Chain A
Amino acid sequence: MGSDLRRGLGRSMALCSVLAAGCYHGTDAFGDPAATDGTTGDDAGSDSGSGGIPEEVPAGPTGLRLLTPAQYQNSVLDVLGPVAAPAVGQWRSSLAAAQGGVAAAAVEDYEEAAHALAAEVFTNPALRTQVTGCEPASAAADDACITAVVETLGRRAWRRPLTEDEITRYASVATTTAGLLGGDPWIGIQHAVAGLLQSPHFLYRVELGTPVSDDDPFLVRLDAYELASRISYLVWNSTPDDALLDAAAAGELEQTAGISAQVERLFASPRARTGVIQLFVDMYDLDALLSLQKDPALLPAFTPTVGPALREELFRVIDDTVLAQRDYRRLFDTQQGYVNAELAQLYGIAGEFGPDFTPVTLPEPRGGVLTLAGFLAINSGEASTSPTKRGLTVRRVVMCQSIPPPPPDVEADLPEPGEGEPMTKRQMLEEHRTDPVCATCHNFTDPIGLALESYDALGGFRATDQGLAIDPSGDLDGTPFADAAALGTLLADNSATSDCVVRNLYRYASGHIEQPLEQPTIDELTTELVDNGHDLPAAIAALARSESFRFANLSPEDAP
């Protein structure tokens, strides 16, 4: 099969040379920011008061945003209290859920979950009293307890007060269903709440806005409740609490000072951890670790529990660097990891460890998120590593730099290892990096990925590959580094890294890719981040105050 090996490589080479254009090194933002006039309107940190509407608002589209599975789960917990809330939904990332729809077959998942959740609460006398604080006297639609439950839980679930018609609608559901099922008013309430949780007002974040003037139907301002909802999902990735809805009702969110006060209050809650981590879950697709698959024959350390454990470690590292230390750069050069017994073994850390996670100093030569086994495992195949794929993820996800795909006919797979002469991945890829045509892109991705070759497809350390020593050194756009940990310190201070997390934050918060018009906001927020010692929560607070967050420019397709 040695000749097959060469043939495979030769074929890749031949096709690779089809790639004529150079590799795009720019940020993957749309359009040319310089094309806009640079008007930024309200400074991200200043208080515009309630009246001022700048002539050109740096905002994008808005509309219905389907809850992601995590948002569904968090919201249910915040509406009903401690229940067995499933994560229901077809679109995991905020960006995908803003565009994606619900297929007919998925509607039943929502229905089943809603009935199961309502039954859990309302067939449990202690729990239903705790959740509702009342006792229905009858199943009549005007029973005070029934209307109070619909009103209170409905407001939390729908993120706004229900109209009179809506209250009547669901109170009637309680009456009708109680009548069908034996007359117990609690059964009726149970069905009414199951309905509230299936309504599009719950399953979608309804952020439609209202035109700011009669002359222009396309520039809209989010109303107070819509804004409360945006703030809440931004910081908590969940539905607003009663205090935030009260602030919306009192008009407090019309002032940026009022927004700041609420954002600060939300950040003081432990729920902010969930919310901020979700940004990184989206960016790095960390939920892929929940269903991680590796070949146990080649990676004996793989078990069904290792993926979720690696996800938990990443959560803790993000929490420690981004939230506790409040310095985004530390994510890339931290020496602190978190292990349970299984991860200690994977990392080769000696000592006594149990099922709980313990902070540890990462063993050499590790440092920073790129060297955490969770990141490495997501960006690998089931058995073997892919330096190009890992390098691409760093360029795209961490630095927001795009790479064109190889031409459609390129066979991107490297030949199978273990046949012919043993080669390291560096040797296999050498030809890609020396051929002048392939090299434009591969020199962009591969040095990063080759630095990560010290870790196998599950993230375990290895000094050799195919019995040959691994050389993790390389350079990042001309600056040399010795290994992956040193690469991390370069990334920590790279301006692309700062710009990129803000860009990802903006997309995560708004549910769309920024248009050129919105670029000034990204620039301002990046400045905000850098000037505040790379404090991401400060940038999040500034985003919540920005016009981009509070207004939207509808396209004709989005306007009613």
Chain B
Amino acid sequence: MRITTLRRRTLLRGMLGATGVAVGLPLLEAMLDAHGEAHADGTGLPLRFGVWFWGNGSQPGAWAPATTGVGWEATGILAGLAAVKSYVNVVSGCVLPVPGVNNPHVEGAVGILAGGNPLLHESYSGQSDDWNFLTVPGPSVDQVAVDTLAGSSPFRTLTLAVTPVHTSDAGSSNHPGTAISYISHPAPYVFNPPTMNPSELFAALFGAGLPSIDPGQADPVQLARSNVLDAVLSDASDLRRRLGKNDRTRLDLHLEGIYELQNRLTAVVMPGEACALPLDPGNPTSERERARVFAELVAMAFACDLTRVVSLEFSSPASHVDYPDIGITGAGLGTSFHEYEHQNGYNDNVLTGLRYFVEVFGDFVAALQALPEVDGNLLDRACVLGTSDVSGGWDHSFTDYPLLVAGRAGGALAYPGQHVALPGDNAARVPLTCLKAVGVPIDSWGRDQFLVSETIAGIEA
């Protein structure tokens, strides 16, 4: 167990004050000593993994580029990727093999992100709102990546949502099933509550200044908090012995959180060259702007090695929210983008929305591309899976699933980006490819009809 054996290095906060102008962190000799080789060629620097998710799909048969291979054209629905397309691999034609018995949006989200069929809670007994009873059968793909990537980074994972999820007060649920609202799950019936306000994310990551290397004294307040957590961990290990399998799993996840917290109190990070204190972005009212400033904070968190895994939910599965930025504002009348899709097919309004989702994803990729690292940028050591809950929202189809893979993942993925068309192939191969690209030691991914063991060679380097 990785518990209190961590080196008591400190993440010294407050050195530079809570706010202020961006100040580049001086590249200390100590850092070069510790990571000199890493800086020379990038090996040894952390890999990062991200999920960028939007609800209600795309336009099957039309979203993908006209040509395959390199040099695909970022036009139509993918026009928003023009500035980053050399770092984006596109996989079209795949089918997500959902069972078609529960809410299709949940089946799709759980299928593509957790590689299985939704689990139905015992309290479900033929209820009309089955989505309130559905959870994942196992950890979502981002949480699988965490186990390999997180190391001692202070935030094992960042969970963000840009537009409101179905639960009226995000972060808590009256129902046992949360797969309709949230996309990041460490286990069945456990969800990572998303941060929805960029200013709050800023405060959590940078509120007390930049992480810094300081071999000196630890902050006694933080050591005291850590000492308290030691006692809590002792309680938990006493209790754990008395538990059955199910409760042990639950308690272990809780303990993960305590370890993470303790790690954050006592560990130090090795910030990269682009690490600089950002400004508090506030909480922009525009959803696109919110997504963009989230992306910049995530990029900086990667650069400072505060985290290595992010899950960003631009809109939830089956989202019924408005997108005022593109003039879709009928949610109050029951005519959100979701209903537009159902009622109107692929008319101009719907296509505007579908293009818009990819544009906002493009903003995210661009934010990673903007920060240099060694001889390139953050995308060189990242893999970001951009996907949705259905292929087409109009008729809940699962053929020609929208699958975008950004980043080179340390050289594992093709560069410049390819477009690979694999009609009829299992869409679960894409998350498998992403996981293997960032070094997760697995031979297969998924369960039941989502079980796959073959990566997509066409997007690998």
CB within 8 Å of B: which residues of A?
A: 4, 7-8, 11, 24, 28-30, 63-64, 69, 89-93, 95-96, 99-108, 111, 115, 166, 169-170, 172-173, 176-177, 180-181, 191-192, 194-195, 198-201, 203-204, 206, 208, 282, 285, 287-288, 290-293, 295, 297-298, 381-384, 392, 396, 402-406, 408-409, 411, 413-418, 507, 512-513, 554-560
Contact = CB atoms under 8 A, between A and B. Distances in A.
A90 B194 CA distance: 11
B447 interface: no
B126 A64 contact: no
A309 B283 CA distance: 28
B168 A408 contact: no
Given A90-B171, A405-B126, A418-B333, 7 more contacts: A91-B173, A99-B189, A100-B190, A102-B253, A176-B224, A200-B239, A405-B128
B257 A105 contact: yes
B334 A384 contact: yes
Contact of B173 (A92, A191, A402): A92
B339 A402 contact: no
Contact of B156 (A104, A180, A292, A513): A104
Contact of A104 (B229, B260, B395): B260
B155 to A, nearest CB: 8
Contacts, number: 240
Given A90-B191, A559-B244, A101 B250 contact: yes
Contacts of B223: 180
Contacts of B220: 180-181
B358 to A, nearest CB: 25
B228 A402 contact: no
A101 B343 contact: no
A293 to B, nearest CB: 7
Contacts of B128: 392, 396, 403-406
Contacts of B342: 8, 411, 413
Prevailing SS type, chain A contact patch: loop
Contact of A191 (B156, B224, B245, B253): B224
Contact of B254 (A107, A293, A403, A405): A107
Interface string B331-357: 111110001001110000000000000
Contact of A180 (B100, B168, B224): B224
Given A101-B187, A392-B128, A63 B247 contact: yes
A291 B242 contact: no
B190 A405 contact: no
Q: Which 3 A-B pairs have the closest CB atoms?
A: A107-B257, A295-B332, A104-B257
A285 B174 contact: yes
B253 A104 contact: yes
A416 B334 contact: yes
Contacts of B330: 416
Contacts of A382: 331-332
A248 B266 CA distance: 42
14 contacts: A4-B343, A90-B191, A96-B173, A103-B190, A104-B260, A169-B234, A200-B239, A203-B254, A282-B174, A408-B101, A408-B102, A413-B342, A416-B335, A507-B123
B227 A63 contact: no
Give the residue among B176, B186, B396 with the most A Cβ atoms within 10 A: B176
Contacts of B228: 173, 177, 191-192, 194-195, 198
A28 B151 CA distance: 47
B448 to A, nearest CB: 18
B246 A409 contact: no
A557 B175 contact: no
B157 A104 contact: yes
A209 B239 CA distance: 13
Interface string B167-193: 011011111100000000011011111
Nearest to B222: A180
A103 B193 contact: yes
Contact of A170 (B231, B245, B261, B344): B231
Contact of A199 (B130, B191, B232, B253): B232
Give the residue among A11, A103, A194, A203 with the most B Cβ atoms within 10 A: A103
B449 interface: no
Contact of A409 (B168, B331, B344, B396): B396
B227 A103 contact: no
A177 B226 CA distance: 10
B244 A554 contact: yes
Interface in B229-258: 229-232, 234-236, 239, 241-247, 249-251, 253-254, 256-258
A557 B249 CA distance: 11
A332 B254 CA distance: 42
B343 A166 contact: no
A24 B126 CA distance: 8
Nearest to A194: B228
A396 B103 contact: no
B129 interface: yes
Contacts of A181: 220-221, 224
Contacts of A411: 342-343
Nearest to B224: A177
B285 interface: no
Contacts of A95: 123, 176
Contacts of A173: 227-228, 230-231
Contacts of A69: 172
B121 interface: yes
B89 interface: no
A184 to B, nearest CB: 12
Contacts of B189: 99-101
Nearest to A284: B174
B58 interface: no
A169 B227 CA distance: 11
